[in-house]
Amino acid sequence: MNTKTVLLEKKTGYAIVTLNRPNEMNALSRAMRDELEDCFIRLEGDPDVRAIILTGGDYVFSAGIDIKEMAALPDSDTDDFFKSIVGYLKRIYTCRKPVIAAVGGIALGGGFNLAIVCDLIIASESAIFGHPELKFGLNPLFNPLRQIVGLAKAKEITMLGEPLGAKEALRIGLVNKVTPPEIFMKEAMIMAEELSKRSANAVEAVKKISLIAPQLDPSSALDMELAISNLLFSKPERKAHMNEFIFIEQMKKRGQK
């Protein structure tokens, strides 16, 4: 895969996608958004990839949408411009495979949006999240953030635009784990390795439930979850996973004797 703004590295069971515009603080240009969308299409169809890490490297995740590119955009091109934003975000948000955002440094505006459409976030202690869009007369991406931190906190973050440090992000449930800067990628890779060992069908089912169930009434949500459980239970791999679990537990008990 030949790309200019995105690096792709395949590991055993998972892949690492790295934003690669370091001189522009990984600002999300049209080229980068298109390459990200193409990259995730490719990875979603790759049976060797069971999980995906998305990162910007050690010092910055993304400073957001490329402001210079946006400022030079003719009015006649705005519809196409925002279609490209919807396209790449939706591709990542609805990816059938688990996506981990590994955030080192700043994740602002569009970079913040990019992080929250991932399933899990590992943050370096140096990570900073923020939505300064209102200062430019634009609205931030609200609903994915609301689903993570709740309505009141999402309003506060998007309306005030105050930056959030990693520890505060962890406290409000925005990120899953905070680590020292030197090991945040290692933690993301450990998580990706663990996810790659899980049943791909079961992980995909959890993703689907997490997106749909909050929109349903409690009874309908329960019906949907049980219907998915019934579908997974009928698959042959269910017995294989259960027998493997039983075998491991038996070996543990023998080792304790």
Q: What is the mean pLDDT of the chain?
A: 88
Residue with token string 């909050």: 214
Residue 188 has pLDDT above 60, yes or no: yes
Assess whether 171 and 224 both reside in one domain. Answer: no
Assess whether 233 and 192 both reside in one domain. Answer: no
8 A C-beta contact, residue 120 and residue 176: yes
Assess whether 72 and 111 both reside in one domain. Answer: yes
Residues recorded for the chain = 257
Residue with token string 């955009």: 73
pLDDT digits (tens, 9 = 90+) for 61-117: 999 988 888 788 788 888 888 888 889 999 999 999 999 999 999 999 999 999 999
Q: Domain for residue 1, yes or no?
A: no
Assess whether 219 and 191 both reside in one domain. Answer: no
8 A C-beta contact, residue 125 and residue 168: no
Assess whether 40 and 142 both reside in one domain. Answer: yes
pLDDT digits (tens, 9 = 90+) for 144-185: 999 999 999 999 999 999 999 999 999 999 999 999 999 999
pLDDT digits (tens, 9 = 90+) for 130-142: 998 887 777 889 9
Assess whether 85 and 211 both reside in one domain. Answer: no
Assess whether 245 and 141 both reside in one domain. Answer: no
Domain count of the fold of the chain: 2
What sections of the chain are H helices per DSSP?
Answer: 30-44, 67-71, 78-93, 110-116, 143-149, 151-160, 166-171, 184-197, 200-212, 218-233, 237-256
Last residue in a domain, options 177, 197, 217: 197
Structural domain boundaries enclosing 250: 200-256
Residue 248 has pLDDT above 70, yes or no: no
Assess whether 55 and 118 both reside in one domain. Answer: yes
Assess whether 60 and 152 both reside in one domain. Answer: yes
8 A C-beta contact, residue 142 and residue 154: yes
Last residue in a domain, options 165, 180, 197: 197
Q: What is the CATH number of the domain that holds 166?
A: 3.90.226.10
